[in-house]
Amino acid sequence: MVTKVAENIVKSLGQIRQEIDEITAQSRFNETVRLLAVSKKHPVEAIRAAYEAGQREFAENYVQEGVDKVEQLNDLDLVWHFIGPLQSNKTKLVAEHFDWVQSIEREKIARRLNEQRPENLAPLNVLLQVNIDNDPNKSGVQKHDVNALAEFVSQCSHLKLRGIMTILEADTNENQQLNSFAAMRSLYEQLQQMHPSVDTLSMGMSGDMRQAILAGANMVRIGSAIFGQRE
C-alpha cells in the first residue's frame, strides 16, 4: 500500500480517538466509547495500517468481501463485526467467520445463526438493528417489536444478546439526530433491565458521531473519517 495512504489512516485514527475523548468528556454518560473501524470497500492493507496503530475491532457490510478479509488477516488478533443486510442464504458464512452481528432484525436470521454457529467458537455477539424513526424505507426492527426479538435471541445458546444498533436517515438535522439517539438510549436502558448481558449501544457514524456520543452511545462505527471516501 502507498505509504502516504497508510500514514493518513494512522493520523485520522488518532484524530478520531481524540475527538471521541473530547466528546465523551462533555457527555453526561460516564461510559467508555468503543471505536469500531468500518473497513468496507477498503483493502486489507488499510486494515493492517489501522491495526499497526492499535485498532482491533473492524466492521464489514458485505458477506463475501468480509469473509475474504477475515481469512486474509487471520494472522492478526482482530474482532470482526458484521453490520450489513443479511439474507438467510448467507448466514452460515457469517456464523463461521464473524464475532459480532449488528444487523439482526428478524427471528429467522437469528435462528439460523444460532444453528450454524460452530460449537468450537464462543457464542456470536448480537445487536438488534432498530428502525428508531419508523422510516418505511429503512431496515431494522420497529421499536415495539424489540422486546420480543430480544427475548428470542436471549434463548439461543449460541448467541449472546449484547444490545442494539441504529442507522439514522442521512438528511436529518442535529436536533432530530439527538432526539432519535436519545430514544435509542432509553430503549437500551429498558432492555438492560431485562437482559443483564446487554452492554452495547452502537450508534453514530462519521457524520453524526458527536450527537450519538452526547446521547449515550458506547460504540461508534466510523468508516470514511478513518479510511477516506469509498469509491
Ligand X SMILES: *Cc1c(COP(=O)(O)O)cnc(C)c1O
Residue tagged 470482526 (cell numbers): 80
Q: Which is nearer to ligand X, 154 or 176 (CB)?
A: 176
Q: Pick the stretch among 10-18, 114-122, 156-164, 215-223 that binds ligand X (CB under 6 A).
A: 215-223
Instruction: Specify the 3-state DSSP secondary structure of 187.
Output: helix
Which helix (DSSP H) or strand (DSSP E) does residue 163 occupy? Answer: strand 159-165
* One character per residue 90-129, x = contact with ligand X (rule: CB under 6 A): ----------------------------------------
In angstroms, the first-to-last Cα distance of the chain is 17
Which one of 5-13, 120-128, 172-180, 200-208 is the stretch in contact with ligand X (CB under 6 A)? 200-208
> What CA–CA distance (Å, rounded) separates 95 from 78?
16
Give CA–CA dist 182/168, Å, rounded.
Answer: 12
Count interface residues toward ligand X (CB under 6 A). Answer: 13
- Chain centroid to CA 50: how far? 17
**Choice from 24, 116, 154, 224 touching ligand X (CB under 6 A):** 224
Q: Where does this chain touch ligand X (CB under 6 A) — which range of 8-16, 26-34, 134-142, 223-231?
A: 223-231
Residue with cell 465523551: 24
- Which phi-psi region, left, alpha or beta, contains residue 154 (left: φ > 0; alpha: ψ -120 to 50)? alpha
Residue 15 vs 74, nearer CB to ligand X? 15
- Tell me the closest approach of the beta carbon of residue 40 to ligand X, in angstroms: 6
**79 touches 56 (CB < 8 A):** yes
Q: Is 35 in the site for ligand X (CB under 6 A)?
A: no
> Which distant-in-sequence residues (6+ apart) come within 8 Å of 150 by Cβ?
128, 161, 191, 194, 195
In the complex, minimum distance from the CB of residue 179 to ligand X, in angstroms, rounded to a whole number = 20
In the list 66, 163, 216, 223, the residue contacting ligand X (rule: CB under 6 A) is 223
Residue span binding ligand X (CB under 6 A) among the ranges 89-97, 148-156, 174-182, 203-211 = 203-211
**Residue from 12, 39, 55, 61 in contact with ligand X (CB under 6 A):** 61
Cβ contacts of 191 within 8 Å, gap of 6 or more: 146, 147, 150, 163, 164, 198
CB of 75 to ligand X, least distance (A): 25
Question: Rule CB under 6 A: is residue 83 a binding residue for ligand X?
Answer: yes
Question: Which residues make up the interface to ligand X (CB under 6 A)?
Answer: 38, 40, 61, 83, 167, 205-207, 221-225
